[in-house]
Structure formats: C-alpha cells, structure tokens
Amino acid sequence: MTPHQQADGSASAPDGLLTEAFAQFPAPAMLTDSEGNILWANRALCELSGYAVEELLGHTPSVLRSGRHDAAFYRQLWDTVRAGRIWRGDVIDRRKDGTLYVVEEAVAPLRDAQGAIRHFVAVQHDITQREARREHEHYLAYHDVLTRLPNRAMLDDIAQKAALSALRSEQPLAMMFLDLDGFKAINDTLGHHVGDQLLAAVAQRLQSGIRRSDTVARIGGDEFAVLLADLDSRASAGLLAQKLLDALARPFQFRKHRFTIRASVGIAIFPSDATSIDALLNQADQAMYLAKLQGGQRYHFFDQGDAQRRKKPAAPRQETHGPDKPGQAHKPEAASRR
C-alpha cells in the first residue's frame, strides 16, 4: 500500500495538502469537536462572518447566531447530526459587525475508525443576495411602490383573517373605500410627478389617522381602502371617516404648489352588509359613489337600497354625512404660484 493509499484502497492526500485545500475552499466551512467547539475555520467563513480565525477557535457556532431562530431550531439541528445524520437547512447568521446574512448549510458528523462520532463539519453557501431579491419580490407583490402602503393583494389577506376573527368574536369590522375628488386635474395640469407626491402625502396622512389595529391600502390610482378591525360600533366607523376627511382637507404644500383636496368615503360593515371581502369592498365602493354624487367631502354608509339609488341619483340619500351645502370638486390653490 503506498503512503497515500487508504486501507480500503481509496486514494488519500497528504495532510498538508488537505489542510491547504480546505483553507482555500471557496465555500465557508468549519470543523468542530463532538461538543461543538470550533477547531478550524477556513478563509471563506472568516470573510463572510467578519471574524478572524483566532476569534472563532474554541467557541461554538453560537457566536454566529442572529437571534432569528428559536432554541427548537438549533436543538433539531444538533439532534440530527448527533444521531449520525446530515442536517441541511437555511440559517440566518450574524456577522461580527452586527449585520445579518443567510446561508444554505449542511452539517455532517465525522466518525473515527471505530465508528464513533468525533467531529462535525459544516459547509455553507451564501444566499443573502438571493434571499434579498426574494424578499424584495415578495414586498412588490404585496405593497404599492409609490406610497409603500399595502396593495389590494395584501389587503385581501389581512381582511380575510380579520373577517374570521370578527366572526369568532362577534365584533363587526368595517371597510372604507376612499376616492380623491378631482385628482385627475392635478395630473393633467401639473404633471404626474406632482400627482405622485400628493398621493404619497395622502397615504401618510391616512396612516397617521388610523388606529394600530386598522389597515390602509392603496387599491387604485387615487383610490384607498381602510379596514377597521375590532369595531365597537357603526358610529365609530363614521367618526374615523370624518377624522380622515378632516385630515385630508388640510392644505398640502409642495414647493410652489399648494392644494386643498376633497375626498369621498363609502363604508360597508361586515357581516351585516356582506359576508365576503370582495362584496364588502364593492359595497363600500357603491357607498363612496353616492357620497361623491352629493359633492364629496363626506362619507356614506352602504345600505341595500344603494344599487337602486346609483341608477336614480336624484332619489333621497340616507346616512350621508358631510357639509350641508356640497361644494365643488377640489381645486389646486395657486397651482402654479411663482
């Protein structure tokens, strides 16, 4: 048998060559004893974690823990490898500077000639950028980029869960549909960049005006929805709607442009008005339309006669709240003040 041939006939490399090969191995890797104390770490792991090898030796891999995994996660990892099996999974670790990174990791037990587990080796693959892209794609799927509010998809998810909770607690929830009156005139006269600034500012005011249990979402160009969870009464929804209308009525200032803006709000109650989220939002939209027909800057509660009143706008309205004398659609004040 040659000096570098093992008893089973497989080729082996000189110890020095193996050490250098693992030291230069492009994937982060470490070797621990059977108690989990780090005996060796390669250059790639040090570069990824920010620790010098001397700072890792003698410590357990817990020095890299981010706090994003619970004790059960690590217990399952160690139970797997101590049972002689390979553990694979994604791990969020923390660098020396405190920043987080994500790795695909495989941890394997190493046995001695008698079959006893003496060491563990861990090999990692940095997937931080891939996870960041995935998280960004997920964010885009559920948020409006301009206002950073939840979009319709996220609103649906939140509303479905809120509806189940409302049924269990027998506490209703409300959906508001809010539309800005005359917003198109701003885009047409001052440009989309000014309109975008206005939408972002509107979003901030709406968020500032709701409770922590509520959700505001952008569901269209100048259309917003507000989900009111844990509603104690129908009147509470009206009070919050008026609060939001008053907040939006305060002037907006963008450099040389100053605006006053009007809005129309429709409100529908779950489950008395609708038993599905799609129907609830549609009924709030119908109620908003009636508020707009009366001049805007008001809110209107949905009732079952709304569909007929949409066909006959002159019919009497009920539960519409706002100015006694409806004004005109909002106008920019000194829209091009120099």
The residues annotated as belonging to the active site are 222
Instruction: Return the structure tokens found at 159.
Output: 């509303």
Amino acid occupying residue 10: S
Choose among 328, 293, 287, 295: nearest CA to 313: 293
CA distance 291 to 245: 12
Sign of the C-alpha dihedral, residues 264, 270, 272, 274?
A: positive
Residue 300 in contact with residue 287, Cβ under 8 Å?
Answer: yes
φ, ψ of residue 147 to 5 degrees: the values are: -95, -10
Cβ neighbours of 226 (radius 10 Å): 25
Choose among 262, 259, 284, 252: nearest CA to 181: 262
